[in-house]
Structure 1
């Protein structure tokens, strides 16, 4: 029996539909997952940057990888806000963040001169994870294992790739993915 006949039989049995639930599928970011509280007050909505790739990075001020803020700012400067948006998500999920959003904002401005969009202090793991991270876990099986996990979304808000803490913001394997999105 040929492949087409096998598929037809599976469809008739409903197996294909059941199996498709397990197949990985790219899903655009749902609206509720796109909204964060901004560190400056108000809301920060990722859909405001639709049409541009977005790199979302969970951060912490007392982490051994905190110097990556410099690379994140350099990445934003390299591509410019019209091409790429780098969003930082301060989090105390790994017990390494300052006590208040005001302290985080001041720390980042004084030490790194950041002008990147920044959320309020936000949980990124577990039952209290922000809807963005819950969506990422549910749809892609990705959850930050540590601070400075980088998640790349394409211009339509679909997951592209992620990198752990040890991948520096200007690493070629990360910038190649950004470049590929910008040449589409």
Structure 2
């Protein structure tokens, strides 16, 4: 199994193939609209705006597994991200990032890039950077601000 073999769905249920992102760097983030780290949406959007033309794709995977911090429906969550945080990067429908129903994208990323808690996701806004050739490059803690990832993004987009 490779990253490009995986799929997700938009909040409306339309399929997103990771294969569509071949030759692009991909930043995968588990998000939540009612988390103390929610202001990171602005930083993620800035990365999206600054680097999408250079080959960066930002994908937000909303998750309600951490203290119910994503209680909104898929449509409400998407609308909230646009209105309150200016998000234009792609969001998916809500997913699980831990447990028996872990979304395949997160299972793959956790298997390839362990963290402080082994293969578990610690909290919302855990980030994974994938190289343009589909290789998991680095995992970032929830508290790592998006602007701190910019150097790595520049390095792998060369």
TM-score by length of 2: 0.90
- Aligned residue for 2:156? 181
- Which moves more between the two structures, 107-116 or 137-146? 137-146
Which ranges of structure 1 fall in alignment gaps of 5 or more residues?
Answer: 1-26
Say whether residues 1:62 and 2:43 are aligned partners.
no
CA offset at residue 28 of structure 1? Answer: 3.7
- Aligned residue for 1:145? 122
Runs of 4+ in 1 over 6 A off after TM superposition: none
Aligned residues: 153
- Aligned residue for 2:135? 158
Partner SS for 2:90:
coil
CA offset at residue 156 of structure 1? Answer: 1.7
Q: What CA deviation, in whole Å up to 9, does each residue of 1:110-165 have, x standing for no partner?
A: 10121101100111111110011112222333432100011000012110001111
Taking the aligned partners of 2:113 and 2:142, their CA distance within structure 1 comes to 18
Taking the aligned partners of 1:104 and 1:81, their CA distance within structure 2 comes to 26
- Choose between structure 1 and 2: higher strand proportion: 2
Taking the aligned partners of 2:133 and 2:51, their CA distance within structure 1 comes to 18
Q: What CA deviation, in whole Å up to 9, does each residue of 1:17-57 have, x standing for no partner?
A: xxxxxxxxxx84261xx201111331112210110100000
TM-score by length of 1: 0.78
Which ranges of structure 2 fall in alignment gaps of 5 or more residues?
Answer: none
What does 1:101-112 correspond to in 2, within 5 Å?
Answer: 101-112=74-85
Taking the aligned partners of 1:85 and 1:168, their CA distance within structure 2 comes to 17
